[in-house]
Amino acid sequence: MFGLETLDVAIGVIFVFLLVSILCTAIREGIEGWMKTRAAYLWLGIRELLHDKSATGLASTFYGHPLIYSLFPGDFDKAKVLEKPRFWANGRGAPSYLPSRNFAVALMDIAARGPLTSGVTANGGAPEMSLDNIRANIRNIDNPAVQRVLLAAIDAAKGDLDRAQLNIEAWFNSGMDRVSGWYKRTTQYWLFAIGLFLAVLMNVNALTIADYLFRTPKVRDAVVNKADAYLKVAASNAGAAKTSEQQYNEAKTELLSLGLPIGWGSNWEAAGRGDVERNDLWNYALLPVLGWLTTAFAATMGAPFWFDLLNKIMVIRSTVKPHEKSQEEGSEDRQAKAAQPQPSVPPPPPQQPGQAPPPPPPLPAAVQRSAAVSRDVEADLDDCGATPTVLTEDEDLPQAVGGVK
């Protein structure tokens, strides 16, 4: 029982972490929609990939190509030089996503026809984009490092233009993996900051919540039931798209409805722990800080992590929890068994004085089958499977001889 209680406490705490993570993610998405950090990191990654960190050469020309310029509405300040990933990176106006195919085709087009879009490069007499033209006009890209990359992609393609394009796309994707790492780390910093802010603002103390769940069986069971219901609803609405605001409101409502010691009540520091000697340093300082930090660190893991973990633990709980039959089900089984007709054995006739006892009547077939089924291996070895024909009464047995005097 102790293991099941501990498992239920873990489910309750993980459910709280899931809801807090959803709140933090929704807030982060709102900040991202305003600051465009992803676009700023993409702009930094493109400049490093094209060896133009100052954005005065190929990188600026590349963002002006029609295949790239059509991905974002209007101009953005290309002079914003981001030397390294920053917490407050601002990329408003720049594209947040760049397809690898657009990157490869735009770069090959610049190499074959030149960096500028004019009547010469945009009419039917413009050079064809072929491997031979790209190699012959490679100097249209005024960047020796990128020239060498393109020549390597052409040589590896062995005369296949599509293969050369795929080679350039692979080069782009490898550079974007680094950009994704920058953005992921920055997002984790943001989630920690937002998680700590929410933990303090709403007093979401992970340690207090775990202690309260362990000591309050009714609340613990209610939270586990709500977690199970939440997973079922989430599974049924898996394809439904929700805005960040909707996710925030639903998660906040669910969190506040759990009946846990969340918020700034009159007894927030000890969470109703009246059976423990009061320690002001622990209750007012160490416990809240440690609980808030735990909640903030949990938020950095992200909502998908806690959702998957909650699913797995609920499956484990369903296998650990004993599935006992109810008393009604057991009584019905016994009643059904008792209601079956039992074979009756007729009483033997009265015995006359001096007359040998008559042989017992044969057992009914149902009883014989039941006895044969219930006979174990040792019984078969003892009686060799023989069926008694004459029963000897106790008073007719010979007197025992011997024994200890």
The C-alpha atoms of residue 105 and residue 178 are separated, in whole angstroms, by 22
Higher pLDDT, 237 or 120: 237
The whole-number average pLDDT for the span 16-24 is 95
Task: Give the pLDDT confidence score for residue 20 in this predicted structure.
Answer: 96
Task: Give the pLDDT confidence score for residue 342 in this predicted structure.
Answer: 53
Q: Residue 73: is its pLDDT beyond 90?
A: no
Task: Give the pLDDT confidence score for residue 94 in this predicted structure.
Answer: 82
The whole-number average pLDDT for the span 376-399 is 55
What letter does residue 258 receive in the DSSP assignment? S
Task: Give the pLDDT confidence score for residue 365 in this predicted structure.
Answer: 52
Q: Per-residue pLDDT tens for 279-324?
A: 666 667 788 899 999 999 999 999 999 999 999 999 988 887 655 4
The C-alpha atoms of residue 55 and residue 81 are separated, in whole angstroms, by 7
What letter does residue 330 receive in the DSSP assignment? H
3-state secondary structure of 154: helix
Task: Give the pLDDT confidence score for residue 329 in this predicted structure.
Answer: 46
Task: Give the pLDDT confidence score for residue 175 in this predicted structure.
Answer: 92
Task: Give the pLDDT confidence score for residue 369 in this predicted structure.
Answer: 46
Higher pLDDT, 249 or 119: 249
Q: Residue 27: is its pLDDT beyond 60?
A: yes
Percent of the chain with pLDDT over 90: 39
Token pair for 103: 């990157």
Q: Per-residue pLDDT tens for 325-378?
A: 444 444 445 555 555 555 555 555 555 555 555 665 554 554 454 444 444 444
Task: Give the pLDDT confidence score for residue 121 in this predicted structure.
Answer: 64
Among 3-12, 57-66, 152-161, 314-323, the least confident range: 314-323
How sure is the predictor about 95, in pLDDT bands with cuts at 50, 70 and 90?
confident
Identify whether the C-beta of residue 21 lies closer than 8 Å to the C-beta of residue 302. Answer: yes
Task: Give the pLDDT confidence score for residue 373 in this predicted structure.
Answer: 43
Higher pLDDT, 404 or 186: 186
Identify whether the C-beta of residue 191 lies closer than 8 Å to the C-beta of residue 28. Answer: yes
Task: Give the pLDDT confidence score for residue 324 in this predicted structure.
Answer: 42
The whole-number average pLDDT for the span 366-391 is 49
- Of 34, 161, 124, the residue nearest 88 (C-alpha): 34
Q: Residue 266: is its pLDDT beyond 60?
A: no
Name, in order, each residue with C-beta under 8 angstroms of 259's C-beta and a sequence gap of 6 or more.
219, 222, 223
- Of 306, 224, 223, 232, the residue nearest 14 (C-alpha): 306
Angle value at C-alpha 101, between 133 and 171, nearest 5 degrees: 80
Task: Give the pLDDT confidence score for residue 86 in this predicted structure.
Answer: 76
Task: Give the pLDDT confidence score for residue 53 in this predicted structure.
Answer: 84
Q: Per-residue pLDDT tens for 210-226?
A: 999 999 999 999 999 99
Helices (H), 137-286: 144-157, 161-202, 206-215, 217-236, 244-256, 280-281
The C-alpha atoms of residue 18 and residue 309 are separated, in whole angstroms, by 9
- pTM score of the predicted model: 0.69
- Of 17, 25, 12, 14, the residue nearest 246 (C-alpha): 25
Task: Give the pLDDT confidence score for residue 270 in this predicted structure.
Answer: 46
Higher pLDDT, 317 or 117: 317
| CA dihedral sign of residues 28, 31, 32, 37 | negative
Higher pLDDT, 137 or 197: 197
Helix (H) or strand (E) segment spanning residue 321: none
How sure is the predictor about 74, in pLDDT bands with cuts at 50, 70 and 90?
low
